[in-house]
Amino acid sequence: MTAPVTTPGPRILVVDDNDDNRYTLTMYLDLEGYQHVVTANDGEEAVALLEAEPFDLVLLDVMMPRLDGFGVLAWLKAKGWLHHLPVIMISAQNEIENVVSCIELGAVDYLTKPFNKVLLRARLGASLEKKRLRDQMRAHLARLERELDAARALQMGMVPQSFPAPGAAFPWDIHASIAPALEVGGDLYDVFRAPNGDLCFFIGDVSGKGMPAALFMARTKSLIRVVTELTAREEPPDPAAIITRVNAELCDGNDAVMFVTLFFGVLSPGGMLSYCNAGHNPPYRIAGRNITPLVEAAGLVLGVEPSVAYRTAHAELAPGEGLFLYTDGVTEAVNAVDEPLGEARLEAALAGVASTSSAMVAAVAADLAAFVREAPRSDDIAMLALRRIPATLGLEVPETVLVDKVIE
């Protein structure tokens, strides 16, 4: 004979309008060691008890006055409690069809009258064990959600959340937006000053999604900042030299064979742009309605081959000209019929916007939302816009430019 339960953990509710049945069930439960047993005479009393206190299992009669077992099950289903509260139906042999209907409503099992003690023990044990496992899973998922929320907050804190207002000492208008497809993602961008005062910026996209991509993203971002600080103390930053060093570091110990596409650029206060592209989507140079991709200095993605030699290309931004950088989550976003947004539509959206960086990002985000509509998003999305302000500061700019961290 199986040893009785010795811990008084589970709380069981017995619902039956027959006094003898309630007594018999409570006696069996007591013999099996279940010490927290509450009884109800009918469905209405059961509903009141269920609203007032928690239970781990319900033994529910089918046919009862006032509110029967069907009514109690319907109430539990409407509450959404059947996902975590097992209900075992109690029925006479000639009520099996009703029991089947109850199981279709959400009951997990049934017992026939008169009760078989061995069968009762087995049904109770199995149902309570399933509940225990489900409770553990829910607790684990809740803990993971809390950790992912914390990870998302940390990741969002790693990207610049505000930029200095444009002015004579900072002649750049900057705006950015990022939206992971999951709680955390592998897209990244950064904007920071080099030791000589030049503006360094980059945008990247790590292979994969979720926590591994986010960790690889964090490593990439940290490496770029550190290498730039170390290599650009005596002379202006060289994008190719910085990216070559970062690539070698990312390849070291990369057993998971992850990689990141990345565009890295340096802007001088006078508008000279130096840049290097490691397998990333070419950003756009924007001069009024003239939209031109920067296709020079293309190289291999980072993290794959440590001996790759990267090149630096140069361009000069006139006052008022800007750059728009993005990850492939923008152009590869699909609508309800699985059509991608594509480069042509992105260029059209950029060609029709005002000259501020925030207007560029907002226009693309709005066009993307109108194109995708209710289609699920499967990739991270990041955008970064920079504009060299005219020397006269004739264009209106906000005093503080905040980054958009989520695209609706």
Chain centre to alpha carbon of residue 22: 49
Residues 375 and 284 in one domain: yes
The pLDDT score that the predictor gives to residue 181 is 66
pLDDT means over runs of 10, the chain (408 residues): 55 91 87 90 93 92 88 91 88 71 85 80 86 85 76 69 79 87 74 90 86 85 92 84 94 88 93 94 90 91 92 93 92 88 90 81 89 79 89 47 42
343 and 218, same structural domain?
A: yes
pLDDT number for residue 95: 66
Tally the domains of the chain.
2
| Whether residue 189 sits in one domain with residue 253 | yes
Residues 178 and 90 in one domain: no
Region for 80 from its dihedrals, namely left if φ exceeds 0, alpha if ψ lies in -120 to 50, beta otherwise = left
Regarding whether 290 and 325 lie in a shared domain, the answer is yes
Q: What does the pLDDT read at residue 299? A: 92
In contact, 194 and 228? CB cutoff 8 Å = yes
Determine the pLDDT at residue 180: 73
One domain, residues 262 and 317: yes
Query: Would you say residue 190 lies in a domain?
Result: yes
Residues 6+ apart with CB under 8 A from 16: 22, 25, 39, 41, 59, 61, 64, 90
Largest CA distance in the chain: 94
Q: How far apart are CA 321 and CA 39, in angstroms?
A: 77
Domain region containing 135: 11-139
Q: Which two tokens stand for residue 255?
A: 């057993």
Residue 167's contacts (CB-CB under 8 Å, 6 or more residues apart) are 393
Look up the CATH number of the domain holding residue 275: 3.60.40.10
pTM exceeds 0.75: no
Any domain includes 144: no
- Boundary (domain end) residue, out of 90, 108, 139: 139
Q: Is residue 4 part of a domain?
A: no
Same domain, 186 and 79: no
- Domain-located, residue 204: yes
Q: Report yes or no on 205 lying in a domain.
A: yes
- Find, among 196, 156, 195, the residue nearest to 176 by Cα: 156
- C-alpha closest to that of 381 among 185, 162, 222, 157: 185
**Residue 362 contacts by C-beta under 8 Å, 6 or more apart in sequence?**
353
Give the pLDDT score at 398. 40
Would you state the pLDDT for residue 285?
A: 94
- Tell me, yes or no, whether 215 and 114 share the same domain: no
SS3 percent helix, strand, coil of the chain, rounded to 5, is 40, 25, 35
Domain-embedded: residue 58? yes
Q: What is the CATH number of the domain that holds 66?
A: 3.40.50.2300
Residues 227 and 242 sit within 8 Å (Cβ to Cβ): yes
Find the Cα–Cα–Cα–Cα dihedral 221, 237, 267, 333, rounded to 10°.
-30
Kindly give the interhelix angle for 239-251 and 210-231, rounded to the nearest 10 degrees: 130
